[in-house]
Amino acid sequence: MRVWSLAALIVAATAQGAAAGEFVARAQEIDDRKAVIATVEPVRQLVARARIGGTVTELKIREGDVVAAGQEVARIVDQKLSLQLQAIDSRIKSQQAARDKAKLDFDRASELMRRGVSTQAQLDQAKAALDIADRNLQAIKSDRDVIVQQSAEGAVLAPGAGRVLTVPVSQGRVLLPGETVATIAQDQYILRLQLPERHARFMRAGDKVLMAARGQEGGLKAAQEGKVRIVYPEITGGRVVADVDVPGLGNYFVGERTRVYVSTGKRETMVVPAQAVFERSGVKFVRLRGGGEIVVQTGETTPAGVEILSGVADGDVLLTP
């Protein structure tokens, strides 16, 4: 009991000591922030294209799917390639027979030359015919490899990891080489914002910006901090485009709009702790160290506190509970 009583006395004494604090109001420079609308965009938007012409026989993805780099998203088949393969296989068999005959002629000419009943010219002619047959056979096999490779290129692969945005084709559709099969948003997302050119001179790569919470709830209190990735050097339509890195954008929709607060310069003001301001009958007050209360006009709420527009002078000591 004595231990609990002593603990209660310590807590009560601590509460009394912390019941009132003091804060000296000082004029300071803060960022003059303006609200602009930014959109969630992928750093790069990749396109999976058809490498050969043909008919889409398999479509393995749909909008919203997450794909890995190199994953097969569709398969295109050109029926002419199989017919060309059959034709070239027949040519290979024919050329193989011609090569076998040239090899027999060369072996026969070599044997006759060894016995001394043939001439060197006949041996050289048989050797040249064998070489020509070998080269022709290799050329036809190379042509076959080209057709096999074209058939393999019927597999449409994802050029990178990301989320599928659009699939403008359907199974059974005929495609030409180079047509788009799917567009993929790369895994990394950024905020892309457009600033009026009069504000562009204040923004640099590495500057900090504040992104409002999803649904614009909570204002600057719930804002998330981001960093300017790049400010593009071209002005289009009186606007400057900048990209901002903000963690956690993966759960946003691509193209989703959100409010961003950017710094467009500095202004002098006073910021006091939020607990120093209290409201009575719709009017906001602060309490001075001497015990008096004065009416104040507040501005925006920042993570550091509440901006005071009027009512408090530089050097005033405010009581904060």
pLDDT tops 90 at residue 302: no
Which residue range(s) make up the domain with 54? 45-74+157-186
The CATH number that applies at residue 255 is 2.40.30.170
SS3 state of residue 272: strand
Q: Which helix H or strand E contains 141, and what residues bound it?
A: helix 120-152
State mean pLDDT over 196-205: 81
- Whether residues 268 and 239 share a domain: the answer is yes
Q: How many domains does the chain have?
A: 3
- Whether residues 301 and 272 share a domain: the answer is yes
Taking the C-alpha atoms of residue 311 and residue 315, their distance in angstroms, rounded to an integer, is 12
Q: Does 284 fall in a domain?
A: yes
The CATH number that applies at residue 105 is 1.10.287
Q: Which amino acid is at 227?
A: K
Taking the C-alpha atoms of residue 194 and residue 257, their distance in angstroms, rounded to an integer, is 12
- Whether residues 66 and 101 share a domain: the answer is no
**Signed CA dihedral, 75, 76, 79, 81: sign only:** negative
* Mutual angle of helices 79-115 and 120-152, in 10-degree steps: 160
Structure tokens at 21: 């604090």
Q: Does 263 fall in a domain?
A: yes
Q: Does 97 fall in a domain?
A: yes
Taking the C-alpha atoms of residue 193 and residue 208, their distance in angstroms, rounded to an integer, is 14
SS3 state of residue 71: coil
Q: Does 6 fall in a domain?
A: no
Q: Does 5 fall in a domain?
A: no
For 46-71, the pLDDT digits (tens) are 999 999 999 999 999 999 899 999 99
What phi and psi, each to the nearest 5 degrees, are found at residue 160? -170, 170
Q: Report the pLDDT value the prediction gives residue 212, as an integer from 0 to 100.
A: 82
- Whether residues 148 and 253 share a domain: the answer is no
For 126-150, the pLDDT digits (tens) are 999 999 999 999 999 999 999 999 8
- Whether residues 208 and 283 share a domain: the answer is yes
- Whether residues 170 and 214 share a domain: the answer is no
Nearest to 298 by CA among 318, 269, 320: 269
- Whether residues 192 and 277 share a domain: the answer is yes
- Whether residues 262 and 294 share a domain: the answer is yes
Q: Are 35 and 278 in contact (CB under 8 A)?
A: no
Taking the C-alpha atoms of residue 9 and residue 270, their distance in angstroms, rounded to an integer, is 38
What phi and psi, each to the nearest 5 degrees, are found at residue 245? -90, 125
Q: Report the pLDDT value the prediction gives residue 10, as an integer from 0 to 100.
A: 33
pLDDT band, very low/low/confident/very high, at 263 (cuts 50, 70, 90): confident
**Signed CA dihedral, 161, 167, 168, 169: sign only:** positive
Q: Report the pLDDT value the prediction gives residue 155, as an integer from 0 to 100.
A: 93
- Whether residues 52 and 93 share a domain: the answer is no
- Whether residues 62 and 109 share a domain: the answer is no
The CATH number that applies at residue 56 is 2.40.50.100
Average pLDDT over the chain, rounded to whole?
Answer: 84
Rounded percentage of the chain residues whose pLDDT exceeds 90: 40
Q: Does 266 fall in a domain?
A: yes
- Whether residues 143 and 176 share a domain: the answer is no
pLDDT band, very low/low/confident/very high, at 175 (cuts 50, 70, 90): very high
State mean pLDDT over 154-162: 92
